[in-house]
Amino acid sequence: MPARRYATLDVFTETPLAGNPLAVVLDAEGLDDAAMQAIAAEFNLSETVFVLPPAEDRHRARLRIFTPTQELAFAGHPTVGTAVLLALGDARAEIADAVAFGLEEKVGVVPCVVETGEGSGRARFRLPRLPESWGEEPDATILAAALNLSPSEIGFARHRPSRYSAGTPFHLVPVQGLEALARARTSAEAMVQALGPNSKVFLYTGETGDPAHSFRARMFAPAAGIAEDPATGGAVAAFAGALMQFEPLGSGTHDLVVAQGIEMGRPSEIALQLTIEDGALRAAEIGGGAVLVSEGVLHL
């Protein structure tokens, strides 16, 4: 059997055993779809990445991203974690300590910039696809019932439930404050019944308890095999659409930090930068840290 290198990292954190765990399988050539899905189920993390040679030589690699039950076209923490891992390999080979490259994902080419340290790094990437609305506002009463909340706890200030996608579609649900955010509970059955099979739900509030954070969030995707995710870059990418809809943001560059995973004991910080011109979102970037946790070999 071929030996395939793999690594695990904690992403959207600079501290081991915090953030969102990620598995990255290097040397993934020869694995078919079923094998990749089975390996992702074996790791049983929110996402597992398989690194393949790029279709175009000018790009660093081609990525395929799997949850324990399905493949994704795009996800944020796999992009950040894999970018840092590949850059750490370049640093070991004395190629560079700070690098820029493109990663090919099903959503398109994702431009990344990475800086590395000793076993860790920070990466940021520009969204290859800006967020777009993909449906009417979800009904607040239905959402509340599925999330174990009252309808009055759905929404705050200008924010109402919305649906946006920057490659992966999310239901974006604002809640009144930290107490409601902490109390939210759901299940695959409740989510599918309320929202259908595409039931990834990103809850957020403007009450953070920390002046360094702009918003605090949780993400549930039980129908995709993810009861709760500690840090969801793809959801924050979609969230940029809700910010454009509900926040009075003027022209210029806006830097925000979304805290996630705190209720799980896996605190994470996701940096979001928006570039706005004449009332339109022109560009958005996601960024964060990643820490190498383990390295090994799969005999598959």
Catalytic positions, please? 47
Residue 32 burial (C-beta neighbours within 10 Å; 0-12, 13-18, 19+): exposed
Which has the closest alpha carbon to 268: 34, 36, 19? Answer: 19
What distance in Å separates the CA atoms of residue 241 and residue 276, rounded to the nearest whole number? 12
List, in order, residues 6 or more apart from 59 with CB less than 8 Å away. Answer: 101, 102, 103, 104, 109
Residue type, 40: A
Tokens of 39: 């390996």
Tokens of 205: 């509030």
Residue type, 188: A
C-alpha dihedral (72, 215, 228, 147), degrees to nearest 10: -110
The SS3 assignment for 165 reads strand
Which has the closest alpha carbon to 274: 296, 294, 257? Answer: 257
Residue type, 86: L
The SS3 assignment for 47 reads coil
List, in order, residues 6 or more apart from 201 with CB less than 8 Å away. Answer: 143, 147, 170, 171, 173, 186, 191, 195, 219, 220, 221
